[in-house]
Structure formats: C-alpha cells, structure tokens
Structure 1
Amino acid sequence: MAEQHPASGGADQSEDPGNFSPAISSPGNGTSTPAPSSETQGAVPAAVAPHPGSQSLVKPVFYVPDEIVVCVGAEDITVDLNAVSQQAEAFNAVRQARQRTEGKAGKDAHDVAGTGDGSGNGAKEAVLSFEDFAPGVQVFKNVVKYLEAIAAEERAAAAAAGELGVPAGVLKVNPGAFHLELDTDNVCNYLEAAAILRCPRLLRDSVLAPAAKELSSRRVLALLERILQITSRAEGAEGPSAPEPSARRDSPSYKVVESDGDASIDIEEEYVQGGVGGDGQEDGTAHEQVMQAFCQVIQRLCARLDAVDFKLTSALAAGSTWASLEVLRAYRIKVENLGRMNYALQSMTSTVKSFFYEEDKSQQQLKQEWKEHHFALHVFRKQIIESTLNSKNSSLKASAEKAMAGDGDYEVVPNDEDDYQEVLMQKPQASVLAEDDIPEAICDGVTDTTLAGLSGFVAYCDPLQTPPVLAAAMVRSLLLVSQVERARTLFESVFVRSRKVQAMVTGAAIPVDFLGSVRMHRVASIVLRRILARYESLPRGEFCHLVEDVLLKDFHDVSHCIELVLVNSLIQDIVVYCRVRTRSVGHLEDKLPENENSEAVGGSGGPVSPGDAELLRVRKVGEALFAAAFVLHNGFLPLTEEPDRKGENWPAGPLGVAECPWDSGDLDLPLLRHVPGSEDALHLLRRVLLRGLFRRQRAEIENDVPTTVRLWELGRWPTCRDAVLISEAFGFVGNCWRTLHDAKAKATWGDDGKDGRANWVADEEDLYQMFSDLEFWRLQPKELLTPWVPPQLLACHIAARCKLLDEQQRAVFEDNRNNLVEINRLRLIVTQLFAKLEVVEKRSLQSSQKQAEVIQTVRSLR
C-alpha cells in the first residue's frame, strides 16, 4: 500500500489569502504538477503586502529563479538552480562551477538591480547532462518538483522566523501541496535517483518509507548493489573521502539489541541510531550530510537483507571506500546476531542435506563466497591500485602502470653474503602471493589520504593470510590514523615474511621502536644494522634514540644482535663518529650536573646552548656504545700482531703507522674511564693505556708527568695481577724516571731555580706513587736489575720480601715441629698395633694345633 510523504510536517496549514502554495498534488499515478501560483510560473509579486496590524510598510522581498537546462536522456528539462542547489549536491556542484567561472562581477542573488535577463542567459550557458538516467525522465521531474517544494518550504520558514525581513505569517506553505507517492514499484527508482543527484533528504525519506521496508530481500540486494555503484562514481568524480559516520565497534554508542519481535527491524533501528546521529540530522556541511545519508541508506538496506542473501561478493565491493566499509560492518553485525542456535540449526540442516544431495553439494562448492578477510583485502587492494593509476602525478602514474604491466618479480639484493638467508627463503612464498599482492612501486606511491581512508579495513583482515606488500601498506595506514597499538600488532605478525615491511622500517616509514617487539627474530638485527649504517644522515635525536633505546636497551640481551650488530665493524665507525664529531664540546661536560641529562639543560636557561646539548647527548650515547662494545671489539686494538713485534710484549706497535683508532687519535685515552669493571675489560683497558702511553713517550707528545699521572689512574693498577702487563707498566714508569733524571742532570741552578726544583720533587713523588701501584714483586729478579728504579723502593721491596721470607721460614719451622710430634704419636700407635698382631698370631697357631689334634682323634675313633 502506498503512503504519502509530505515535504514537511511541521508548517502551519491554515488557509489565509497571504499563504504561499509552492505546488499541488495531481490525481492519478502519483505524479505532481506545480500549482498555478506566482512561484511556479517564474514570477513573483513586486512586493509583499503589509501584515495586518503593522504600522509601517515592509521592505519588498523578491525571489528570482536561476534556471538551467538539464538534459536527461533525449529530453531537456528546465530546473531552478537556486531552489535545488541547496538540496542536491549534484546541482550544487553546477552552481559552484558557474560561480567560479563568472567570478565576483557584482552578481548578488538578493540585489534587485543585478538580476533579470542576465540570469536566464547565464543558465543556458551551463547545461547538466544525464545520458543514462536509469530511473527515468518522469522520476527526475518529480524529484525536481520535490526539491523545489522543499526550497519553498524553507523560504517560508525563514520568512516566519523573520530572516527575510518579512513579518511572521506573511508567507506560509501548505505541506500537502506537493508530495511523492511511494510504493513498492517506484521506491527503488526514487532512491536510486536520490543517490545519483546526491540528495540527502530524499535518500532518508525514501529508505524510511514503508514501501521500502516491504521490499523483498532479493530486491533490496539489487538496490544495494546499484547504490554502491553510484557511490563509487560519485567518489571518483569528487576525489576520495573517508568519512566516519558509523560508530566504532568499540565505542560506547555502538550496541545491538535483540528482541523477540521483529528482530531485523529492531537491529536495524538500533544500528542506525548508534551509527548516525539521526534521521533528521542537518549539522555539518552539505557533503557531510550526503555522506551520512548514504551511510544510513546502506546500513538500513544491509539490515533488511536475509542472512542467505547477504553474501560478500565483488558486487558489494564495487562501491566507494566508505560504502564498502559500511557493508563490511553491517555484515559482521548480521553474522553476530544470528546466534549460536541459528548456527547449530544451519549446521544440522546442511549435514542432513549432505546425505541426499551429494551431486548438488559438489556443484555448490564451485561457487566461492568471500569471507570478511577476502572482502576487505579486495577493497583495500582495488582502492590502492585505482588511486595510484588515476593519480594526477604523471611520473607516479607511469611508474604504477609499468609496475602493473610487469611480471611482479620480487628481487632481493642483500647487503651481506650470509645474513639474508631468511629473506631469500621468502622469495618462493612471495611469488605465490604475487597475484593477490600489489607491486612495491604502487605501495610507495599511494597517498597518505588514500591509506588513511582504508585503515578501517585492516581490522577485518587476517594478518597471516595478508600478502606481504599489502601488509606493509596496512601498517602504514594504521599509523596515519594514530592506531599505534594495532599497527604494532600487525607489524609483529608480518615482519618476518614481509620484506617490504622491513624496508619501510629502514626507510623510517615505520617507527624503529617496533623492532623491539620482534627482536627475537634474526632478521630484526639485520634491519637494525641497515638503519645504523645511515648514522651520518640521521638527525641527532633519532640517532641517539636508535642507539640508546633500541640497540642498547631492547637488543642488549639478544644473542644474534651481538653476532650481527655489535661485533660488526660498523660499531667501531659509529663510536669514532660520535667521538670525533663531539670533540668541540668535550670541555662542556664539566659544566653539566652529574645527575642530569644533557637534554634537560639544553634550554634557554641551561649552562649550554641547545645545539651543544644535542652534541653532548651524542657524546654520551657514543660513550655508552663504546662501553658495550669494548670487549667485543678487543678494545678497538689491531686484530693481529706481527711476530717481530713480540706480540703483547710490544704495547706501542709500529711508530708512525696508525693501526687502530687509538693510534690515529680518533679515540682518546680519557674515553677509557667508561670501560666496565670486568676482568676481560680491565685487561684490554691496560693494553690500550700502555699502547697510548708508550706512543706518547716515544713521540714526546703530552709526555709531561702530570698528564701521565692523570692517564695512569685509568688503568686501575692496584688490582692488576697479570705479570706481563705489570712488566710493561714497570718498564714504562722506569723510562719516565730516567727521563726525569736526565732533565735534572742537564739543568743548572740558574735555569729553573726553585720552581724547577719544586716541580722535580712533585714529579718524583708522582712517579714513586706510580711504582708503588704495581705489584712488581711478581716480576722476575732480572727485570728488577735496572738503575732507573728508585733505590728506596727496591730496598723496601727487598725488606718486604725478606720479612715475608722470614715469616715463611718461621711458619715452616713450626710446621716441622708439629709434624715431628705427629710422627712420634703415629710411631707409638704402630708399636702398639705390632704387639697386638704378634699376640693374635700366637693364638692363631695354638688354634691350629688344637684343630689338628681334634681331627686326629676323630679319625682314630672310626
């Protein structure tokens, strides 16, 4: 049964000579014709009569139509652009195009002097054409009349509110003057026409009509497919958009209520109320209202589909991005509301049918139905490819076309020989998924706007079944909409098998912090090393974060990171880079508080400038990396020593040749204060220190005693137990002592005076302290036979050794005496035991004799 839907139900319907009637209903087939009023005839009275009771004349109000010619099929139809442009976005686009063309030439819709024949002439210049308008010409005419009636109603409402300068009650509209008579035969045409013209009010009125609710599920499905195709054409004409009219599934406004009555209607109403603000929402821009109306139509049509007909197919994926997402959300709601009992009943029914319809079952298996994952993946892939191929950037479009025309091979160019075995093993899998995947050129060229609009589909995709390049694009889309946790979860699932994801981490498209969640995989260390290889081009803040937080915190306890990253020669280059680049701010370290970070004092009121604070942070990061890799890199010493240099006994190495960063000066000896306190680290530390001190001594550079003493303390010599290192250190201090005495012998009293003598005394005391730090008593006596050792030190050493020997001799004498006492005690015990043994032997002999006698007696008795 058809039901009438007036344009509005809230206007005053009283009869008054001053009432304005925009249109009247015509009998017959549900069509309408304009009323014979001045409005529909294109003319308006010159002025509106004053309202009864008013004391003064009212300023005249005029309305002049702006007519254009619209070609629908083969028929031209005149349309009032001023009336319909505010109700349909298709006409509003024509109006905006005309305004841009005409410019600001003094045209004003409310200026009487600026209107007239010019508007009519201008209307004929812009013609809108609908070559294939499926609903038909008559439906288009009725829709235009409907829109004009709405416009007249809005003008009357504005006049009633006093916005047009007319007293309330002068202009009124009869809402029953024009209406659309909708039934099950024409409601689909009107809904499709509203979608083509993008009229939000007609979309809502049509889908909420009782006739629309009476449509069968199959007709609703066909109508839904046509609406989705229209949204795709509209999005292609206006550019991609990604509105969010529907509530998120995790939002408080989203809920589904199941009732015992008409469940489909209840679920439909509850879903739309939770998804869209309401049927009469008018807030926001016109485009947003159109999007909301489209989404409401899609939601209601999907809610009216039966579960048997609601299947995810390519036809439902032919819509725009946001329309396909609405279909996917509605499908999930439909599946969730079937209930366990419905699933059980369907399973039982299909099991029974399988016994009787085996041939039909084999035929049905040929028809594949998409799951949520395949539907979302298809839309995601299609939208990315189409947006790239239709790009306005000619170079991007050409590269995308070339990539789509190629064979889709995935070339792997490893930077190392053996470290990319995991990546190379993925190549066969990538070839299998190539037909469902996208080329990397398209993944790189897709815009951020497109990916942000497609982020809603990621929640419906299975990460384990998602192709690798598409998975990389999905991670990027989630990051664009600030869904970091979801992006991290997807990243963890696809990182190992997606080379594109790994490349995006290297290219900074994915945060490097994500590597911490996949650090158990060997390829994570490989990717981290590739990022570290760009240390010179990275910003200082990112570089410090990469080394300090990712490498030294997240990967510090990972075995393959030590093998692939920390042992690599790249670490030595990074340490040298940090030390050399920050050498200019080394003197500022003393200005920083010991318990404060360099970033905290880099402000305007800090002791250092922000630029110097960044350099200081780089310096601190380099020192931390130096401490972590010191033992692994053998103290950054040369890896091998030639035999003629006596191995470790030649600590300085060949003079004039820089074999390591310590020799070239890239690493300075004060850096050794950051070496950890393990035995291996201290051993290497002393080797490095002696190498540097000997080279300074031989080159006579910074070889003064105060500088040597400051560096000597870095060796922590009182804890050294290595005789080889002690011997080398003893020889170095002996050389210092000889140099000091040579200077004293060459000097005279008049050269240096008292100051020179005071310096010599202080230097002697320092060198004496350096000798005393060494446990040189561990050395062989021949190594002590040198004149360049303080005699009192040797005397003290000999006295200490004699005292020690005396104590040892006393201890030996006491041990000997104790041993003699013990020996005497043991002798007495042995004597006692020997006497007891003799007694036992005598008794044994007597027993043997008695036994022989008994045996003899027994024999004689026989």
Structure 2
Amino acid sequence: MFSFFFGSSTDGPSPPTIREGHKTVEVIIDDERLQVDVDVLAEVSGLFLQIQSTDAKECPLRDFPGGLDRFRGIVGFLIDSETLVVGDETVLDLLEATWLLECPSLLDGVMQSSFVTSLSSRRRAEILEHLLPYTAASSPADSEHAIESLSASAPSDTLGNWDEHGAASPKYSQETMPASLACKQFLRFFQFETLMWQTTEKAALTLASQLDSGDFVLGPRLATGSLRVCSELLRLRRLREEESGFVSSAIQPVSTLWKNLMDKPLRAKVSWDSHLFALRCMRRRLAAVAPPEVLQKQAEMAGEMKEDEEAHEDLPAELVETAEDSTLIVFGELIGYVNSERLSSNWSALLVRVLLLLSADYADSDLREGRTLKAREIFRNTFASDLMQKLSWCHPAPVPPAWLVDVVSNPDASKALLRVLSRYRQMEAEELSDIIEHVLLAEFLPWDHCQKTILASELLNDILGACMDAGKKANSGGQGTRCPAHWAGQHRLWRLEYLGRRLFHVAFVFQEGFLPHSWPDCFGDDPNDSNDSKPTGGKLLVRRMAVEDDICSAQPQVVEVDGSCLWDEGLLTIPLLRRTMMEGRAMLDKPILHYGRQVIMRHLWYKHTDYCEVPKLKVLWDLACWSLCEDAGLVRQALEYLKGTYRDLCRPGGPWSPENEEDLFEMFLAIDFSLLPIQVLYSPWVPAQVQSVRLFVQQQPADQFHQELQQEVSRAMEHLKSVNFQCSKLTDKLNAVDQRTVMNKSQISDSSAALEEILRKRRQKEGG
C-alpha cells in the first residue's frame, strides 16, 4: 500500500523519525512525497538549513539520484543512524546526493564504508574522477556558485537558487528576522560551506593517495578538481616519483599484471607531465571566470584528445588580458610545477603576472627576490611577444619600467617606454624622475630607436614643459598649467627641473629646437595600437615664421610669429640655450646652431612691440654665431630686424650713442649678405658702411681671382722657358748624332771597298 506521506507500505523501509514539535516539510521526488524533520536535518544538511529559515512547506527535488528510496535511506542514515547502503550501484548516486544536499556527514559515511575502503586502485581512480568536479563546485576559491551561496546566506539577499537541482528558491522573512538571528544564521551557512569543501577535498585526496603509481595518471580527468586539490595531486605525484626506487620498480610489473587481469582497464587515454597538468588546471580556472564575450571566441573542446591538443597550445590572449589579480593569486601553488623554458608567449605573460603578485605577498625577502628575478628573466626572454610588451605599459602596469633596461636593444622597448611615459600626469614626481633619470637618460639615450621614437615625440615636449613648470612651482610656490597638482615637495620639484634641463639638451635637435613643427607618428600605422594607450603625436601645427616675398622694401618688415611653444610660455628661456649653442660650435655637422638661430629670432619677434636694446641684442647676436649661417631665410629675418633696430636707434629721442651704433654696425657685418639679392639692401635703414663693406666683400673675390690668375700665368711662363731650354739641348744632341752617322757611313763604305778588293784578288789567284 502506497502513502503520500510515508512512501511505501509497511513492508518496506520505515519512514524517518519526526520529533515532536519540530518543523516538517514534504520532499517531492518523481511525484512521490516524504515528510522529513527539517530541524534535525538542518544540523547536517545545508539545503535543509536554508529551508529551515523559510516558511516553505514543500521541497521539490526533481531528478534526485536514485529516487525516493535512495533519499529515504539517506535520511534514515542522517536521523536514525541506519546503515548506509554503499555499493557499485549506489556509490555514484550518493556522491551526487552529498553535493545536492550539501551534507558533509553523508560524504564521510560513504568514504568510511567497507565498500569504498576495499576498492581496488583502478576502481578508486574512477570514483576519484567522479568526485573531483564536486571539489571545484564546492571550493570557495574555484566556484562562483559557492561565492553566490555565501552571498545568499547574508540576511539581505535571497536564498540560493536550487532550481538547477530541483529545489525551490524561497525567500527569507526579513520583516520578522532579528539582526542577531540573521547573523547567527549566516555563520551557520558559512560553516556548512566551509565544512563541505573541506570534506570533499579530503575525500578526493584520500582516494588519490591510495592509487597505485600506474593508475595515478595526470590527465584531463584529474584536472577537473579545485586548484587546491590539483596542487595536492601534483605534490603526491612528485612524492611518488621521488620515492620510487629499485624495489618498487622490480615489484611494479607483477602488481600491474595481476591488476590488469582482475580490473577493468583505465578510461584515461591522455597522460601529462606535471608542467602540462598545471597549465591545464590554470586554463580551466581562467575560462571559468572569463567574461561571456571572451568565452564565445573560444572553441568548444570535447573529449580527452581535444583537451590534450589544447593543453599543448598557447593560451588565448583574451584570457590573459581579462584575468583579474584575484584570479591569478590562487595559482601560487601551481607555479612551482611549471617549466618556464617550455612556456609559449601568452603563458609567459600570465606567469610573469602571477610571479609579481606572489612576490608582493611574500614576507620572506629571499623568496620574494627569487620570484622577482624569475619573472624578470621570463620578461627578458619573451619580450618579443605583443602581450609581454603590453605588460610593460598597460595600466595598472604589473611590470616595473626598470625592466625595460634588459631589452633596450629591442626597438619595441622604446615604444613601450613611450607608452609608460604617456601616463606621466598620473605618476608621482619621484616615480617619473626615476624613469627619466635611470631608464631613459642612463640606458635608452644612446640607442638610435630611442632618439627616433622618444626624443622626437610630442610627448617628450609635454613632459619637458611639465618639468620646467615644476621648477617655476618650486620657485614661486604657485601652480602652473602643465605641472600636475599632486607634484609637491621642493626637492622633488627641483629634481624634475634638473632632469628637464637634461632632456632639453639631449632632445634639442630631435625636437627641432622645441619650436612648433609637425611631430612624427612614433608608432606608424599599426592597427594593433590602442588609441587609449597611444601618446598624442603627428598633429600638424602652424607654419613657421617667414617674411614677405617683397624683396625691395625701404621700410623694415615685421615677421608675424604663428603657433605656440614652450618658448612662448616662458618655460624655456634663452639662458638655457647657451650651453647647447656652445656645443653646436664644436659639432658643425649637426643642425644645433641652425635651430638655435631660429629660437633666437622667434624670441625677438614674439609679441613684437619694441625692438630689443642694442646691448642685449649684441649678446644674442654673438650667441647665434651668424657668420656660420647659410640659411637665406634666417639671414633675411636677421637683416629686417637690424633695419628696424637701426631705425629705432636713429629716431628723434632714440637711444643713439656711439657705442650702440658701433655694436649695430658689427651685427650688420656679421651677416653674410651674399646669400641675399642686392635689392634687399636698398633701404635707408641699411647703413652706408654696410653697403661699402658689401662692395668690398664682393670685390674681394675678383681681386683674389685676378691674383691667382697672375700667379698661374707666371708659373706657366716659367714652365715654357724650361721646356724651350730642354728642346735646345735635345737639338744639339741630335746634330751630334747626325755627324757621327755620316762618319760611320763613310767608314762602312771604305771597309766594303777594301773587302771587295781582297775577294777579287783571291778569286784571281785561285783561277790562275
């Protein structure tokens, strides 16, 4: 006979005991009902503890493993201490019911049963594979569900949603629950959560420690547990390898043969070493907490062989970039089993982040330094990867900028340092000073890619302005427009100004004298560059100053200066230019003097109201070193300014004096007017002495040419005389040779005649 309240007839198992005065609830499983004592079960089950705090009368548990009979047996074990039936057919259902009911004592009963304690090694391996996913679901360090459950235990939240497992989700009665009772209730929930994951992990590690070496296979099936359990599995595996010796090696084949005959073969098809197993565990954790949009980009993996392929592949960059520090910090125990030399680029970037997080938490200085050195070595060896480079400048940057010194030979190091410097307004003054002094100026400065990327960038112009503005702030105590407000402290501000002066001297040529110009795009057209992290640059500024095209102008022309720069703001001053111009006179192959003259002329023309006093102008003129200038445009500007100064000097009531006029004549004479058309001198404000000097200067090349020509003619005449004398000597020698030739011919004729006579007489004598 069937009863909705007590299940089967009186011939079956007896219904669970319900104590008098206790709260009851009907559990519904597959349209069958069973009334249980909630107050008693709440002491051992997290599920019923949550139901106890509600007004629910029913608890539907759809798809409960084993049905109502299995649930009745579990309740009898928990309430009436009945014997728990554990066997091949029930053990997996009991493990699932343990997690569903959140009942640590039930898991202890299963693990202490005679069935589990007498299992073979291979059977234990199968049970372990089923138990490991529960450790990940119950551990607060690995499961989002566990965290949500803890949050749900708080009085201000709703009860955890059990629809996934078949239970309803009733809500707290907030109006009637006192604060003390709510706090006590929360502590009980927290205790159950903690005890549940501790018991689950203890059971998994107990099974793992009882496995034979041949059955202890690190693979995808064992990588489904929590990170704590996975770390313990790696530790147990390492102990097995260290303890394995001659005896175990000799006995192992016999035990393996007997086990293979008696047990079913292992289901595991993939075997990993500790390195791959640790990486796989971390990958699972990263994928579990990754944003949904990142998971959509990842290919779905199914089957051990596909998981094995993924284990040997590099980590997707999206998982590394979206990983939070709270996620990476739990990888501390797994890091020790990872071989850094076998890591690919993205894994290396993740490992560097983990090592830096761990080194920040270690109290032991030696251990902290060891972690830091290892991370720095990995950073140096894999800096070529995009993700590793991003670690050096992303905000908040986990990699110290000083590490870029190790890769200074790589051109990408300058780009990374430029991105680091782009956050200078958010940095502390001391931090920025250290980067400029110990990284940029000390290590990067001699490299060509640093000069083209950093020294020529618009960002350096902004940083220099901020540094010089810090000096003004230290001097006057005010606040400029370029110096951030949080930069404070006299010694820090003076240090910034000192470094700004050094930057001025080394970057003067690359910044074209820090005048308005078009800054280059130091990053090219790389589509991977982010606009948020990319320093501003490449903005086309206004044209440079230039005079009118009217060559013949009697009155002095005024040059209109366009644009703005640090010189106009007063952050850069002429005294700062003196050292640079002195160096430029010794390095004529560089355009230092050229840019210096442009700066001086802009200084003279900027906000032009009155011409500069002659003594001050004389100092600037000597600084510009006009005698070496070959730029016709600058020479024209200098002439127009001198014309205006001379007119101002000669006006009624003007500051005329013999000394001023003499200095002004010297300034006129310092300019090479041969670079300009003669018409530019047609002005009453060009002194007649200048015109005379120009004529003398123009005549000097002709006189010099004539003198050189005369010298050439004299040398040619002397050469001709020498040639004539040699010709006469040769003629005399030829005449003497002719005379000797005539005499030789006469002697030869006489000899021939005598010989003929001798031959004739001989023939006559022989014939007679």
Instruction: Identify the TM-score tier after normalising by the shorter chain.
Output: 0.5 to 0.7
SS across alignment from 1:568: helix
* 1:498 counterpart residue number: 385
Match of 1:87 in 2: 44
Are 1:692 and 2:599 matched, yes or no? yes
1:736-775, aligned counterparts within 5 Å?
A: 746=651, 748=653
For 2:616, the equivalent position in structure 1 comes to 708
Deviation at 1:540, TM superposition (A): 0.3
Q: 1:282 touches 1:289 (CA, 8 Å); kept in 2?
A: no
User: Alpha-carbon deviation of 1:471?
Assistant: 4.0
- Equivalent-residue separation in structure 1 for 2:388 and 2:272 (angstroms): 26
Q: Is the 8 A contact 2:392 2:398 kept in 1?
A: yes
Q: Is the counterpart of residue 128 in structure 1 residue 61 in structure 2? A: yes
1:516 maps onto 2:411 in alignment:
no
Provide the C-alpha distance between the structure 2 equivalents of 1:674 and 1:200, rounded to a whole number of angstroms. Answer: 82
Deviations 1:370-398 (A, max 9, x none): 1112112223323433544xx5xxxx44x
Q: Which amino acid in structure 2 is aligned with residue 578 of structure 1?
A: I
Q: Distance in 1 between matches of 2:135 and 2:585?
A: 69
Per-residue deviation, residues 706-752 of structure 1 (Å, max 9, x unmatched): 9938985996x9xx9x9848xx99x999999999897676455xxx9
* Local SS of the residue matching 2:27: strand
Alignment partner of 2:129 out of 188, 208, 225: 225
Q: TM-score, normalised by structure 2?
A: 0.54
Could you tell me how far apart the structure 1 residues matched to 2:617 and 2:649 are?
A: 19
User: Structure 1 residue 542 and structure 2 residue 542: aligned?
Assistant: no
Distance 1:569 1:460, change over 3 A: closer
* Secondary structure at the counterpart of residue 26 of structure 2: strand
> Which amino acid in structure 1 is aligned with residue 504 of structure 2?
F
User: Any idea what the Cα deviations from partners look like across 1:593-647, whole Å, max 9, x if unmatched?
Assistant: 9xxxx999956xx789xxxx99x987666544333333666756899xxxx99xx
What is the Cα deviation at residue 494 of structure 1?
6.3
Q: How much does 1:467 deviate?
A: 3.9
State the Cα distance separating 1:573 from its structure 2 match: 1.3
Q: How much does 1:227 deviate? A: 0.9
Give aligned-pair identity as a percent.
Answer: 17
| Counterpart-to-counterpart distance in 2, 1:696 and 1:181 | 96
Describe the SS at the equivalent of 1:668.
coil
Q: 1:435 to 1:401 in 2, by over 3 A?
A: farther
3-state SS of 1:285 partner:
helix
Provide the residue aligned with 2:191 in structure 1: 285
Cα deviation digits, residues 288-320 of structure 1 (max 9, x gap): 22222222222222222222221112111223x
How far, CA to CA, are the matches of 2:26 and 2:575 in structure 1?
83
1:465 matched to 2:342? yes
> Equivalent residue for 1:404?
299
- Kindly indicate whether residue 275 of structure 2 is the aligned counterpart of residue 373 of structure 1: yes
TM-score, length of structure 1 as denominator length: 0.49
What SS does structure 1 have at the residue aligned with 2:217?
coil
SS at match of 1:306: coil
The verdict on how the C-alpha distance between 1:339 and 1:459 changes in structure 2, with shifts beyond 3 A counting, is closer
Deviation at 1:449, TM superposition (A): 5.2
CA 1:188–1:306 in 2, change beyond 3 Å: closer, same or farther?
farther
Cα distance in 1 for residues equivalent to 2:405 and 2:50: 49
Q: Could you tell me which amino acid in structure 2 is paired with residue 302 of structure 1?
A: A
Distance 1:219 1:602, change over 3 A: same
Please tell me whether the aligned partners of residues 502 and 527 of structure 1 are also in contact (alpha carbons under 8 angstroms).
no
TM-aligned CA deviation for residue 499 of structure 1 = 2.2
Contact (CA 8 Å) 1:471, 1:494: kept in 2 or not? no
Residues 199 and 290 in structure 1, CA contact (< 8 A), matched pair in contact too: yes
Match of 1:843 in 2: none
Provide the secondary structure at the position in 1 that maps to 2:202. Answer: helix
- Give the 3-state SS of the residue equivalent to 2:193 in structure 1: helix
* Alignment partner of 2:503 out of 612, 625, 628: 625
For residues 228-253 of structure 1, the C-alpha deviation after alignment (integer angstroms, 9 at most, x for no partner) is 1333555798536699xxxxxxxxxx
Q: Please give the alpha-carbon distance, in whole angstroms, between the structure 1 residues aligned to 2:190 and 2:561.
A: 76
Aligned to 2:145: 239
Say if 1:87 and 1:200, in contact at 8 Å, map to a contact too.
yes
Give, in whole Å, the separation in 2 of the partners of 1:190 and 1:669: 84
Distance 1:584 1:503, change over 3 A: closer
Q: Distance in 1 between matches of 2:146 and 2:127?
A: 23
Matches within 5 A, 1:236-315: 239=145, 285-315=191-221
Corresponding position of 2:287? 385
How far apart, in 2, do the equivalents of 1:311 and 1:225 lie? 11
Equivalent residues of 1:373, 1:461 under 8 A apart: yes
Does the CA-based 8 Å contact 2:77-2:83 persist in structure 1?
yes
1:332 and 2:235 correspond = yes
Mapped to 1, the partners of 2:440 and 2:253 lie a distance apart of 53
Q: Is the 8 A contact 2:612 2:645 kept in 1?
A: no
Q: Is the 8 A contact 1:675 1:685 kept in 2?
A: no
Unaligned 5+ segments in structure 2 are 1-11, 150-186, 256-264, 302-308, 362-367, 519-545, 548-557, 671-686, 691-768
Aligned length: 546
| 1:766–1:692 Cα change, 3 Å | farther
* AA aligned opposite 1:331: L
> What CA deviation, in whole Å up to 9, does each residue of 1:546-597 have, x standing for no partner?
864445423545569722232337634123323556887774342369xxxx
- AA of the residue aligned to 2:61: L
**1:5-44 correspondence to structure 2 within 5 Å:** 40-44=17-21
1:198 aligns with 2:106: no
5 Å-filtered alignment, 1:806-825, equals: none
CA distance in 2: counterparts of 1:620 and 1:288, whole angstroms: 58
- Contact between 1:522 and 1:560, CA under 8 Å: does it hold in 2? no
> Does residue 1:573 correspond to 2:473, yes or no?
no
* Cα distance in 1 for residues equivalent to 2:137 and 2:605: 83
Contact 2:455 / 2:510 at 8 angstroms: preserved in 1? no
Residue of structure 2 equivalent to 1:834: none
Q: 1:786 and 1:82, CA in 2 relative to 1: closer, same or farther beyond 3 A?
A: farther
Paired amino acid for 2:212: D
Q: Is the 8 A contact 2:471 2:496 kept in 1?
A: no
Report the Cα distance in structure 2 between the residues aligned to 1:202 and 1:493, rounded to whole angstroms.
52
Name the CA distance, whole Å, in 2 between partners of 1:787 and 1:657: 31
Q: How far has the Cα of 1:182 moved from its partner?
A: 8.2
**CA pair 204-599 structure 1, distance change in 2 beyond 3 A:** farther
The 2-side partners of 1:766 and 1:433 are apart by: 86
Aligned residue number for residue 141 of structure 1: 72
CA distance in 1, matches of 2:251, 2:18: 65
Aligned-partner residue type, residue 194 of structure 1:
T
Q: Which residue of 2 aligns with 1:803?
A: none
Aligned to 2:313: 436
Return closer, same or farther for 1:433/1:327 CA change in 2, 3 Å cut-off.
closer
Q: Equivalent residue for 1:562?
A: 447
- What is the correspondence of 1:87-166 to structure 2 with a 5 Å cutoff? 87-94=44-51, 99=54, 122-124=56-58, 126-133=59-66, 140-148=71-79
2: CA distance between counterparts of 1:677 and 1:741?
Answer: 26
Q: Distance in 2 between matches of 1:714 and 1:512?
A: 49
Over aligned residues, Cα RMSD in angstroms?
6.1
In structure 2, what is the Cα distance between the partners aligned to 1:313 and 1:438?
Answer: 18
